[in-house]
Amino acid sequence: MSLLIDAHTFRELVGGRRKGLRAALVRGLLNLLELPYFSVTSLRNFFYDAGIFSTHQLPIPIISVGNLTLGGTGKSPLVAWLGRFFLDHDIQPGIISRGYGQSSSGVNDEFLELAFRLPSIPHRLNRNRVVAARDFLDSFKVDLLILDDAFQHRRIARNLDIVLLDALEPFGYEHIFPRGMLRESITSLCRADVVFLSRADLADEAQRRKIRDRVLTISPNILWGEIVHKPQSLLSFAKTETDISAIHNKRILAFCGIGNPNAFRQTLESCGANVVELIPFPDHHQFRAEDINELEAMAKRKGIDFILCTMKDFVKIDHLISGSIPIQAVLIDIRFLSGETAFRELLKKQL
């Protein structure tokens, strides 16, 4: 078994679902590789906690949205919700992202999606987020900054740390990368102010309670909440929207280049769609005309009613569309199952 594997196979492997001698040997090797990664992340956190590594204090409030694990947990819909919340309170936010998977034009899928959702909010991509923050202060009049995917980025001090845990794999198979999906130790949640269980509707009440109890054992003062990613409508390239009920009992060809493709499948199935095929691409995939042509040909062969993708994918492919079966994006917003009132009050205190 090659160590150069796709995201689905990697999850099957580290989650223990891939059986056999070769899989066991690879897991054993990954166990050895986990130790140096754990040591580096733990030492780095120790240096920040002890004040040996300094953090930069900025003159405006800083809110971080991040993950404990690799892969997608649905941060973009929450960042979009935060952006709208602050605009509704006459607060002008800015957004800073590291910029994984940037194209030659200097933008990535998250940037394009958030630009579509929040056209009035300036957004900067920069691996050096300190430089990006200073650029904001020099170039824009913003009242606060939202750091996207920044829980592990500790060079900028923040007023509020929000962490999302995916209900499907909240603790990264209990191992730090590369043996599991954790970016750092679970105990790092003690730095968080707010933890949201995303896609909470994909776990039953007993599972959600078990996850919550474990998080609160690590840090009893964390604000706990549960959110779901609610499909609202289908978006065409003509910018027209169709109610999501249109896909009920329809044959769907889905594709996505996100960290957790199975979550997209489950989102579509929760709307009553018949997902005939899900084609996963690597996270932040830069689509080519050949990719789209193959999807359109497959849709015709299989008698597909809709070709659907996420907004992250949709914003990158408008110049590639040529087929007779239209490709549409699923517009998703978050809905709170718990914690919304307390979260709103906490945000207002930051203002």
144: three-class secondary structure by DSSP: strand
Tens of pLDDT, residue by residue over 146-188, are 999 999 999 999 999 999 999 988 999 999 999 999 999 999 9
**pTM for the full predicted model:** 0.86
Please state the φ and ψ torsions of residue 325, each to the nearest 5 degrees. -90, 115
Identify the pLDDT of residue 25: 92
Identify the pLDDT of residue 171: 95
Identify the pLDDT of residue 43: 96
Please state the φ and ψ torsions of residue 284, each to the nearest 5 degrees. 65, 30
CATH architecture of 62-229+335-350: 3-Layer(aba) Sandwich (3.40)
Give yes or no for residue 107 having a pLDDT over 90: no
Q: How far apart are CA 234 and CA 255, in angstroms?
A: 14
Identify the pLDDT of residue 3: 45
- Judge whether 136 and 167 are in contact, CB under 8 Å: no
Q: Which two tokens stand for residue 254?
A: 């889905």
Average pLDDT, the chain: 90
- Which of 68-77, 139-148, 330-339 is the least confident region? 68-77
In the structure, what pLDDT confidence band is assigned to residue 103 with cuts at 50, 70 and 90? low
Identify the pLDDT of residue 323: 58
Alpha helices in 140-240 (DSSP H): 205-218
- Which of 52-56, 77-81, 234-238 is the least confident region? 234-238
The owner of tokens 């003159």 is 59
Give yes or no for residue 38 having a pLDDT over 60: yes
Cα within 13 Å of Cα(270), Cβ side: 18
More confident call, 285 vs 234: 234
Identify the pLDDT of residue 215: 97
Give yes or no for residue 325 having a pLDDT over 80: no
- Judge whether 169 and 69 are in contact, CB under 8 Å: yes
Q: Which residues contact 51 (CB under 8 A, 6 or more apart)?
A: none
Give which of 207, 199, 341, 220 is closest to 265, Cα–Cα: 199
Specify the domain boundaries for CATH 3.40.50.300 within the chain. Answer: 62-229+335-350
Give which of 199, 147, 238 is closest to 337, Cα–Cα: 199
Give which of 204, 117, 192 is closest to 159, Cα–Cα: 192
Query: Can you name the CATH fold of 231-333?
Result: Rossmann fold (3.40.50)
